[in-house]
Amino acid sequence: MTRFAAPIAESIWDMKYRFKQADGTAVDGTVEDTWRRIARSLAAVEKAPELWEDRFYAALEDFKYLPAGRITAGAGTGRAVTLFNCFVMGTIPDDMNGIFNALREAALTMQQGGGIGYDFSTLRPRGAEVKGVGADASGPLSFMDVWDAMCRTIMSAGSRRGAMMATMRCDHPDVEDFIAVKSDPARLRMFNLSVLVTDAFMDAVKADGPWELVFGGKVYKTVQARDLWNKIMQATYDFAEPGVIFIDRINAANNLHYAETIAATNPCGEQPLPPYGACLLGSVNLARLVERPFDADASIDEAALTELVSTAIRMMDNVVDASNFPLPEQRAEAQAKRRIGLGVTGLADALLMCGLRYGSDEAAAQTEVWLKAIARASYLASVELAKEKGAFPLFDADAYLASGTMQAMDEDVREAVREHGIRNALLTSIAPTGTISLYAGNVSSGIEPVFAYAYTRKVLQKDGSRTEEEVVDYAVQMWREKFGEADLPEYFVNAQTLEPDAHVKMQAAAQKWIDSSISKTINVPADISFEAFKDVYMQAWDLGCKGCTTYRPNDVTGSVLSVSEAEDKVPGEGMAQGDGGEVVYMSDPLDRPQELEGHTYKLKWPDSNHAIYVTVNDIILNGRRRPFEVFINSKNMEHYAWTVALTRMISAVFRRGGDVSFVVEELKAVFDPRGGAWMNGKYIPSILAAIGGVLENHMVNIGFLEGEGLGLKEDPQAQVVNHGGPRGASCPACGSFDMRKIEGCITCGSCGHSKCS
C-alpha cells in the first residue's frame, strides 16, 4: 500500500523531497523514511527527543502537517542549507560600498536556497547629485539590473534559481519608472515587484489630491495621486506587475511594531519582514482533516485541529534552532524574535467536502472560523512553549499587546500572553504551497480555489512510447470514490469560472486571523474592463487586505492552460480522450545514439583574442529534429572553466527533452556590467548572450523554433487547448504549457516548478 494519493505525488516526492546522495542513490527508501528523517531532526533539540520524534512523525503522517519544501528536503540531511524560506535583506545604504556589500549578502543567501526581498527606496533617484565625484546617480533601477544579473548566476539549493522581491515606496521619485519597468520583457525577470502604498496615498487617491515624490527631504515632482494609482493599475493590467503592498497597514498590525519597521516582503508577499528578517513556513492540510466528507454533517474536528496545530508550532519553533543561516545577522534576527509562519493548504477542497461554494458568504464565514481556530491554537501553543522554554528575547508585554493584531485577539489569549509571555513573535502566514500540495495528493493550493478538476499527464519514455495518467483534484477524486461518475454539484467552482470579487472576499476573510500576510493571486478574465480591474484593488483595500496581486491572461503575460471545454463536468463524464490539456514529462534522459548530426559555429567576440566555437548536435525524436548536446571550445584558457560548465549544463537540459527554448531566452538576457558589443548591426549585452544567439539561430535553422524570439514551431511533447487566447510560456522543468500565476509567483500547475517555492 502506498501513502501517495496519486502517482504525481510520488513523482514530486522523488524529484523534490526524497533524500538522495550526490550520485542519485536514494537514502529515503519510502516517504515514511522522509517523515522519520524530519521528525528525528526537529526533535533533536528537545530534552526528550524520542517522545517528540514520535509526536512529530504522527503530525507528518498522511500529509496532515506539511512543512515547507526547504524543511522537507533539508532537515536531517546534514547539508549546509537553510531551512528558512523567506528573507528580507538588510537596508541598502545609499553609497557604493554599501550597495555592493548588500549584493554580496544577497548572493550568499540565495546560494543556500533562500528567497529574498529588498526595498530599493533607500537609493537616491536617477539624476540626483553624487557629491564628491561630480556625477549624477544612476538610480535604483540600474542597481536592480545588477541584482537581476547576479540572481541568474546563483543556483539555489534544490536546483532552483533564486527568487527576489523588489519594493519601492509610492513617494519615491523613481516610482513611475519602477512601475513601468516590466514593460520590457527582458528586464528584471528574476524579480517580483511591488509598490509600497501608504495610507496617506490611498486617502489622496480617493480625494483625487496631489502627491509629492520626495527623497532626502527634497520634493522632486508633484503628481496627482489618482494618476499615479492609474499607472500602477495599467501596468499590472498589462504585465501582471507590480503588485500592491499596503505598508502602513502591515506596520500597524505587526505584533513587533515597537521593535522593527517593515519595508519589504519575501518574493511571494506572505512574509513582511524587517531588515535581515527571516521566517520559516508550514501548512496544515485542511483537506485531510475533514470528517464525513460530502455528508450533510461534514466538518473539521476542531479538537484534532488544535492538537495538530500545537505540534506543528513546536516543530516550527525547533527549526529556528536546527537551521543553518546564510548570514549571522539573519540568525540573530530569527533567534531574537523566533518568527514562524503556519498556514493552511487544501482550503478550497475542504470547503467542497463541506458542501460550500468557494467565494460564497458561507464559505468566507467558515474560512474565518477555521483560521481563527488555527490562530487561537497557535498563540496558546506558543504561550505553553514560553512557559517551558522562555519567551522570545524582545518580548515586551504591554507593547506587544498594543499592536493591531493583538488588540483583535480573544481576551483569554491576551491574558495568557500577558501572564506568561509568548515564544514566537508572529505565528501565522499563508504561503505558496503549489509543490507541496501536489506532494500531498494534488489538494487545492493554499487558500486558492481549485484551479482545474483534472488534466492528463503523459510520460515520454526513452523509446518514444508514452504512458498516460489522469491527475485529479483531491476533492474531486474523493467525490468519485463516494459517488462514482455522478455530476459534480453546483457548488463545485474553479478558478476558470470564479468571479474576481469572490477571490478578494476569501483573502479578506482569511487575513483577519493571519498575523503576517497571505500569498494569493486573484485571477481575472482577459476581457475584464480596466475600470472593473481597478475595482478589485480598491475592494482589497476597503476589506482590509494587506496587499493585492492579480493575474490577467493576455498577449504579454500569456494564458493559462485550459483543461476542458466542459469545465463543469466530472472529469471523464462527457469528455473524449484528448479533450484535456496534455502535459508530457520525460521519465529519464534520452540515450545518446552512436552518431549525431550537427553544426559548428564560429563566434568572434570583439574583446577576445581567440574565437569561440559552438557545436550543436541534434537528435531525431518522433520524426522531429531537436538539439541534443552542445560543445563550446576556445583556445583562450580564461574561458575554459565557464565554457566547460556551460557545455555540461546546457547538454543536460537538452537531453531532458521538452521545450528547451528557455535556454536561449536565459542566455540572451545576460548582460555584462563591463559592457557588451555590436555584432552584425545588433548590440549584444554579453558573450553569453552571443552564445544564446548562436543556439537560437541553430534552432531556427533546424525548424525547432519558428524564428528569432519565437517559441516552438511544433512542440513535440505537449498539446494544449486555450480559451481563444495566446499560449503562455512553457515550464522550464517539464516543458508543459501550464505556467500560471499562483500565490504571487509564476508556477507550473503540472509539475509544481516555481522560482519562488
pLDDT for residue 564 is more than 50:
no
Secondary structure of residue 530 in the 3-state scheme: helix
Residue pair 510/367 in contact (Cβ under 8 Å)? The answer is yes
Instruction: Find, among 737, 739, 474, the residue nearest to 580 by Cα.
Output: 737
Q: What percent of the chain has pLDDT over 70?
A: 84
Residue pair 718/700 in contact (Cβ under 8 Å)? The answer is no
Secondary structure of residue 50 in the 3-state scheme: helix
- Classify residue 145 by burial, with Cβ atoms within 10 Å: 0-12, 13-18, 19+: middle
Cα gap 467→469, rounded to integer Å:
7
**268: annotated active-site residue:** yes
Alpha helix (H) ranges present in 425-473?
434-439
- Between β-strands 164-169 and 115-119, what pairing exists: parallel, antiparallel or unpaired? parallel
Quick one: pLDDT at residue 440? 95
Quick one: pLDDT at residue 459? 55
Quick one: pLDDT at residue 583? 43
Q: Position 335: which residue type?
A: Q
Could you give the maximum distance between any two Cα atoms of the chain, in Å? 78
Of 105, 260, 270, 629, which is the active-site residue?
A: 270
Q: Distances from the Cα of 92 to the Cαs of 89, 104, 118, 263, 508, in angstroms?
A: 8, 12, 8, 12, 32
Average pLDDT of span 90-110: 93
pLDDT for residue 443 is more than 50:
yes
Quick one: pLDDT at residue 684? 85
Quick one: pLDDT at residue 111? 79
Cα gap 44→22, rounded to integer Å:
25
Highest mean predicted confidence (pLDDT) among 206-220, 614-628, 659-673: 206-220
Task: pLDDT band for 467, please (50, 70, 90 cuts).
Answer: low
Q: Measured on CA atoms in the order 225, 231, 233, 234, is the torsion positive or negative? A: positive
pLDDT for residue 279 is more than 80:
yes
pLDDT for residue 581 is more than 50:
no
Task: pLDDT band for 578, please (50, 70, 90 cuts).
Answer: very low
Quick one: pLDDT at residue 730? 54
Residue length of the chain:
757
594-603 confidence digits (pLDDT tens): 788 889 999 8
DSSP 217-236: TEEEEEEEHHHHHHHHHHHH
Task: pLDDT band for 299, please (50, 70, 90 cuts).
Answer: very high
pLDDT for residue 337 is more than 50:
yes
Cα gap 315→44, rounded to integer Å:
11
Enter the DSSP assignment of 273.
E
Quick one: pLDDT at residue 63? 97
Task: pLDDT band for 605, please (50, 70, 90 cuts).
Answer: confident
pLDDT for residue 736 is more than 60:
no
Least confident of 33-42, 70-79, 683-692: 683-692
Of 254, 266, 424, 617, which is the active-site residue?
A: 266
Write the Ramachandran bin of 631: left for phi over 0, alpha for psi from -120 to 50, otherwise beta.
Answer: beta
Neighbours of 64 (CB within 10 A): 20
Quick one: pLDDT at residue 670? 81
Task: pLDDT band for 725, please (50, 70, 90 cuts).
Answer: very low
Quick one: pLDDT at residue 74? 93
Least confident of 247-256, 394-403, 747-756: 747-756
CB within 8 Å of 131: residues ≥ 6 apart? none
Side-chain half-sphere exposure of 136, counting CA atoms within 13 A:
6
Least confident of 434-448, 542-556, 654-668, 713-727: 713-727
As a whole number, the mean pLDDT across the chain is 86
Write the Ramachandran bin of 730: left for phi over 0, alpha for psi from -120 to 50, otherwise beta.
Answer: beta
User: Higher pLDDT residue, 385 or 585?
Assistant: 385
Instruction: Find, among 303, 323, 370, 302, the residue nearest to 342 by Cα.
Output: 370
Q: Show the cell assigned to 164.
A: 527576489
* φ, ψ (nearest 5 deg) of residue 125: -70, 165
Task: pLDDT band for 157, please (50, 70, 90 cuts).
Answer: very low
Quick one: pLDDT at residue 574? 33
Domain spans, the chain:
93-246, 597-701
Residue pair 737/553 in contact (Cβ under 8 Å)? The answer is no
Task: pLDDT band for 567, please (50, 70, 90 cuts).
Answer: very low
Scan for cell 536561449, then name that residue.
Answer: 664
pLDDT for residue 711 is more than 90:
no
- Between β-strands 466-472 and 210-215, what pairing exists: parallel, antiparallel or unpaired? unpaired
Quick one: pLDDT at residue 158? 37
**266: annotated active-site residue:** yes
pLDDT for residue 622 is more than 70:
no
Instruction: Find, among 480, 473, 491, the residue nearest to 355 by Cα.
Output: 491
Quick one: pLDDT at residue 189? 85
Q: Show the cell assigned to 8.
A: 504525481
Q: What percent of the chain has pLDDT over 90?
A: 60
pTM of the model: 0.78
Quick one: pLDDT at residue 132? 74
Of 86, 170, 268, 734, which is the active-site residue?
A: 268
Task: pLDDT band for 737, please (50, 70, 90 cuts).
Answer: low
For Cα atoms 373, 375, 378, give the angle at the middle one, nearest 5 degrees. Answer: 105
Average pLDDT of span 298-313: 96
Average pLDDT of span 117-121: 96
Cα gap 439→5, rounded to integer Å:
9
Residue pair 232/244 in contact (Cβ under 8 Å)? The answer is yes
What does the radius of gyration of the chain's CA atoms come to, in whole angstroms?
A: 26
For Cα atoms 644, 649, 650, give the angle at the middle one, nearest 5 degrees. Answer: 100
| Host H or E run for residue 571 | none
| Host H or E run for residue 190 | none
